[in-house]
Amino acid sequence: MPTLVRGVRTRRRLTAPIGRAVARLDRPGPHGSAAEIRTLPQALWRFVAHPRPPVLLGCVGAVGVVRAVRGPLRRRDVVTAAACLAAQPFVEWAVHRGLLHARPGGRLGSVGYQLAGYGHEQHHRDPTNLDTMFLRPREVTAGGALAVGLAALGPPAVGTAAVCAGLGALAYDWTHFLVHTAVRPSNRFYRRVWRGHRLHHYRNERYWLGVTSPVADMVLGTSPARDDVPVSPTARGAARRAAPGLPTGA
């Protein structure tokens, strides 16, 4: 038992500085509302000025550098990147439904709720609040460290997959943020993404789970006509708190 206690204390001493460093990266708010942002240049500035996205940008850049020093891209890397691109909508859908919308019932649900479900629940209560908008540095740095390790020690194609995963996370964070701003869609594809995510928040959170693409929703049956599903209590509350004049899609 004394050996076990000493081991726990040693682990705490080693991990405490890391925890404090990560906490400093995630400066507390308030950081304002996405509804205040009306142009794309404003959105770009607020994205990089917020304390959270630069952590993700740094992690993706680090993984990219590690992969670059492993050698040039080959045919296997192209195939890997294509597979990652095809899988992205479905991975995003599964994480959104299974983890971000985890409920505190049962062992797995409770773990998922503690990891991500509670924070995502706060985002649904106030969707444009920039304090709960982005991926958190705690998870980003842990995932980034794992990705750097895989890129450095695994086959080059694994490093390519790690880079693609990081770029997918970055695309998710940027698109999710942009959808919640007052910047209007300028093309048909983004308009569909924009409308779907607003319906997810302001109509019913069980549907329209894709953020960067509607493909998984179309394939898995979670992209119904708006009037085919009822307005959920969570969506009704979010719509009441929405900024005046902000389109909800509901």
pLDDT tens-place string over residues 220-234: 999 999 999 999 998
Extract the tokens encoding 215: 């493909």
Using alpha carbons, select from 224, 219, 234, 228 the residue that is nearest to residue 195: 224
For the chain, give every domain's residue range.
36-241
In which band, very low, low, confident or very high, does the pLDDT at 174 lie, cut at 50, 70 and 90?
very high
Q: Is pLDDT of 26 > 50?
A: yes
pLDDT at 93 over 70: yes
Q: Measuring CA to CA, which residue among 205, 203, 209 is closest to residue 231?
A: 203
In 3D, which of 45, 27, 28 has the Cα closest to residue 36? 45
Write down the pLDDT at residue 6.
58
| pTM of the predicted structure, to 2 decimals | 0.87
Higher model confidence: residue 232 or residue 22? 232
pLDDT: is 240 or 235 the higher one? 235
pLDDT confidence bin for 200, thresholds 50/70/90? very high
Q: What is the Cα gyration radius of the chain?
A: 20
Q: What is the pLDDT of residue 30?
A: 84
Q: In the numeric block, which tokens belong to residue 186?
A: 């300028």
Examine the pLDDT at 18 and tell me if it is beyond 70: no
Residue 236: predicted pLDDT = 87
